[in-house]
Amino acid sequence: MHDVGAEADFEVGQPRRVEIGGRGFVVVNGGAEFYAARDVCAHQGARLSSGRCKGNVHAESVGGHIEYQTGGRTLLQCPWHGWIFDMATGRALADPDRARVRVYPVRVTDGRVLLDLG
């Protein structure tokens, strides 16, 4: 497990690049869950961390738990040509069987975001 920062430093719905061992990863706080993927688009290699999450912020009450999702999924759009990836699976919505980025499990423990590279 790799500690990539404090949970509070990852704003909901704001992709953030982290580097581990010279490799880049994009981490997204989806509200209910954290997600991580290689920071290299499956199309032509753009940094997905420069993209943006698609969807809406939902909160059940003022000051309550916030989620950033679209139809139950946390989606990230590439900044170059707009491919959209489901952060849970790494699959591109337009071609889920062939276009995908590698995703990694993320856990939050004691306020720290931990990335599992396997």
Among 78, 87, 106, 115, binds ligand FES (CB under 6 A): 78
DSSP type of residue 44? T
Q: Work out whether 109 is an interface residue with ligand FES (CB under 6 A).
A: no
DSSP type of residue 93? S
- The alpha-helical segments, DSSP class H, found in the chain are none
User: Which residues inside 21-60 make contact with ligand FES, applying CB under 6 A?
Assistant: 41, 43-46
Range in contact with ligand FES (rule: CB under 6 A) among 2-10, 14-22, 79-87, 101-109: 79-87
Asked if 87 contacts 31 with a C-beta cutoff of 8 angstroms, the reply is no
- C-beta of 94 vs 117, nearer to ligand FES: 94
**Torsion over CA of 64, 70, 72 and 73, rounded to 10 degrees?**
-110
The residues that touch ligand FES, with contacts defined as CB under 6 A, are: 41, 43-46, 78, 80-83
